[in-house]
Amino acid sequence: MTHDLPVAADRAPSRPFGRLLTAMVTPFTADGSLDLDGAVRLANHLVDEQGNDALVLNGTTGESPTTTDAEKERLIRAVVEAVGDRARVVAGVGTNDTRHTIELAASAEKAGAHGLLVVTPYYNKPPQSGLVRHFTAVADATGLPIMLYDIPHRAGVPIASETLVRLAEHGRIVAVKDAKGDLTATSWVTGRTDLAFYSGEDSLTLPALAVGSVGLVGTSTHFTGALAKRMIEAYDAGDPGTALALHRRLLPLFTGIFRTQGTILVKAGLAARGLPAGPVRPPLVDATDDEIAQLRADCAAAGLELPE
């Protein structure tokens, strides 16, 4: 990265989507069909019991690669109707096809979403100029605020720091789900833009706050949400000791939820708690007995019960 861009003056952080968001799984019935009643029940739980300010639907955790465009729209409509008066609903619309992404963005906006999550185009590995063109085209085609999703270990390409600074000039590109794992880059961009950075890695939330991030888009927060939000609030209130204690407490589950693909363990944990989840769709596979036992141990280490 270069170092010739000005550093912004200190300012109060903007939180366009609040402090805590969960990338919600998509509940299915036993036969693998979309479970809208279950989705409504789970969304209410995540907002009312786990303290989420917003929910991300149709992300990777929501099994977006294996849900249809029609299912995605129906899910957004149901969740917006259920919790849209109490929480923001952010729709994942990113694909590796700019035209399809714009179509999903229009569908999500029509369905009532409050914002969009747009992941870096994956597998086809566009250059940085292609990323600028892609994200700008989506932002130009919608009236909704956009959170970019920077996750190079899945997408194959990072959004370079200079590219993020350039994209921040667009009025509707307001936030980043930051799963790059590079806190130096995070610090550099947050010092030069008004982009609201949300940690995309549960375990890095506290250090990310220290370099300018404003919150978390979590996976383990299906279970840790209330305590994770307390951690963020404690840091914001100038109580780093409490924030660190909560970080250390939750670390076994912040990391343990990813012992295998996160959706698999979230759905297993939700089922154990009697909450809607259902099976995963292929090519994912449901958790094994050993994986569930380990998840139960990770929950216990974090002081959270997972019933037998």
State the DSSP string of 238-303: T-HHHHHHHHHHHHHHHHHTTSS-HHHHHHHHHHHTT-S--PPPTTS-PPPHHHHHHHHHHHHHTT
How many CB atoms lie under 10 A from the CB of residue 93?
Answer: 31
Question: 6: cis peptide before it, omega within 30°?
Answer: no
Residues of 144-158 as b/e, b for ≥16 C-beta within 10 angstroms?
A: bbbbbbbbeeebebb
Residues of 51-65 as b/e, b for ≥16 C-beta within 10 angstroms?
A: bbbbbbbbbbbbbbe
What are residue 116's DSSP bridge partners? 91, 146
Q: Is 235 a catalytic residue?
A: no
Separation CA 254–CA 202 (nearest Å): 5
How many CB atoms lie under 10 A from the CB of residue 210?
Answer: 13
Catalytic pick among 177, 180, 229, 267: 177
Nearest residue to 120 (alpha-carbon basis) of 144, 138, 141: 138
Rg (CA), the chain: 18
Q: Is 149 a catalytic residue?
A: yes
Q: Nearest 5 degrees, angle CA 93-CA 121-CA 207?
A: 85
| 176 phi, psi to nearest 5 deg | -135, 130
Catalytic pick among 149, 229, 235, 267: 149
| 177 phi, psi to nearest 5 deg | -90, 110
Residue 126 contacts residue 134 (beta carbons within 8 Å): yes
Q: Identify the residue whose tokens are 């036969």.
A: 31
Name the residues annotated as catalytic: 149, 177
